[in-house]
Amino acid sequence: MTEDENARLMLMACIEGGSPFWSKEIRERSAAYVLERLIDGFYVGSKNSAEKITEHIRKVEINALTKVLVDSKSELISPGHCDWPPQLDDLIAPPIGLICRGDSTLLGNQSLAIVGSRNPTTYGVRVASEFAAGFADRDWTVVSGGAYGIDTSAHKGALAAEGKTVVVLGGGMNQIYPAGNERLFREIEESGLLISEVLPDVHAHAARFLIRNRVIAALTRGTIVVEAAYRSGSLRTARDALEIMRMVMAVPGSITSPASEGCHRLIANHEAELVSCVADVMELVLPLNDARIDA
C-alpha cells in the first residue's frame, strides 16, 4: 500500500468517522501529515478527543492492521484510488477511507438509496422490493444499510431482479450486523458490494449507524424513504441528503399508519418529493443525471 493508504488505515483505527475537524485536517494537510503530528503530540490540548487519539495511535502497528484487512478478504480504497466515489467529497466530513468487500467498481455506477423502517408493514416490504427491482431493471444500483425491514427488502428486490446492490455497514466486515442477514450479505458479496468506514473488527453501535447514513446519502443520486416513523434514523438519512443537495423522495402510506408518519412529515414540510412508482423516481432523477453528463 502507498504511504497515504497506510496513514489512512492507521487514522481509521483511531478516529471515529464523521468528524468535521479531522476530515478538514486530512483534506487540507494530508493523511500522512495528520498521522505524524498526532504521533508527535501536536494536537494534544486541542478538542476533538485529540489526547485519546494520540495515546491510541502510538500503539497501532500498520502490519497488524494490514493483516486484519487481508484476512477479512477486504481492501481499502481512498481518495486517489480509481474506484473512489468523488461524490463523497461533497460531505463536510467524508470518510477517511472505505473498507470494501466485493465489486468496488459499483461505486461508480448511477445509484439510488432506499431506506426506511426496521419494522415495516407488508405494504412497505412490497414497495421497497418492487422499487428496487424496477431500478435494477434500469441498470441503477440500489444502495441501503443492510438493516432488517425496508433495507433488507430493497437489497433482496435488487438481487431478485439480477441487479446490483451495495450495503453500507454500520460496523466492520468481521462483525456483521444484523447477524440474521449474514447469508444475505454473503450473497451480495458475489455480485454486489459491502462497504464500511470502520476497520473489520470494529463492532456496530447506535451512533455508528447514524454516522454511516451520510455515506448512503452521498453515494447516490437520490434517497427514497419507504415507511419511516415520526422519529426515525431514515429521516436522518433524508436530511443528510438534503444538506448536500441530493434529491429526497418519500412514498406515501395510509394516513392512519404510524409507519408512514415520517414520510408524510417530509412531504408536508416540502423536504421530499412524493413518489408512488418507479416512473415517478426516474422522472425526477434522470434530468439530474443528464445535467451531470452535459456538464
| 114 plus 255 within the same structural domain | yes
Buried b (16+ CB within 10 A) or exposed e, 167-206: bbbbbbbebbbbeebeebbeebbeebbbbbbbbbebebee
| 67 plus 108 within the same structural domain | no
User: Which residues, other chains included, contact 199 with Cβ-Cβ below 8 Å and sequence gap of 6+?
Assistant: 9, 12, 13, 65, 68, 69, 99, 172
Q: Is residue 91 situated within a structural domain?
A: no
| 274 plus 222 within the same structural domain | yes
The CA–CA distances, whole Å, from 10 to 25, 38, 183, 286 equal 15, 11, 30, 40
Q: Is residue 47 situated within a structural domain?
A: yes
Final residue in a domain of this structure, among 30, 54, 71:
71
Q: pLDDT by residue for the chain (295 residues), tens digit each?
A: 899 999 999 999 999 999 999 999 999 999 999 999 999 999 987 777 899 999 999 999 999 999 999 999 999 999 989 999 999 999 999 999 999 999 999 999 999 999 999 999 999 999 999 999 999 999 999 999 999 999 999 999 999 999 999 999 999 999 989 999 999 999 999 999 999 999 999 999 888 999 999 999 999 999 999 999 888 888 999 999 999 999 999 999 999 999 999 999 999 999 999 999 999 999 999 876 554 434 3
| 115 plus 25 within the same structural domain | no
Query: Which CATH number does the domain housing residue 247 bear?
Result: 3.40.50.450
pTM of the predicted protein model: 0.93
